[in-house]
Amino acid sequence: MKAAGGMTVRVVVGRCKVDLKDITLLRLFLLKLVEKLGLTAVSNGRGGRCEAKIYPGGGVSAIRILKESHAAIHTWPEEDAADVVVHSCRPINCSVIEFHCLDDLGAGEILRRSSM
């Protein structure tokens, strides 16, 4: 969905090699992604606010609040898959998100990508 002056990018990846149940790893993934995109995490004194929840079965949803909006990751460990969504009031470089998923999640494939 495109809001006035906003942009949303979604990248779904598969065959991830990292532990997709590891909240600490996923929080760090979002922090590094935000830095690589040149966006600004809302600070809570520890590198930005990031909420995360583990669901029955091990899937995780984590969201990092940004001055520009938010970045989120949702995982399906049983399928070695993750869905990364970034919404920003500024333009976003989609290839940075794709590379970060391939590199830091050890993803073997991009299953879906979209930008609006």
Q: What is the mean pLDDT of residues 91-113?
A: 94
Strand ranges inside 1-116, DSSP E: 7-14, 50-54, 60-65, 69-76, 81-88, 109-115
CA 88 to the chain's CA centroid: 13
In the chain the domains, ranked by start, together with CATH numbers, are 7-115 (3.60.90.10)
Other Cβ atoms closer than 10 A to 64: 25
What is the pTM for the complete model shown?
Answer: 0.90
pLDDT at 74 over 50: yes
28-50 pLDDT, tens digit per residue, is 999 999 999 999 988 765 556 78
Between the CA of residue 115 and those of 7, 12, 40, 91, 103, what are the distances in Å? 7, 12, 20, 10, 20
Kindly state the average pLDDT of the residues 64-88.
95
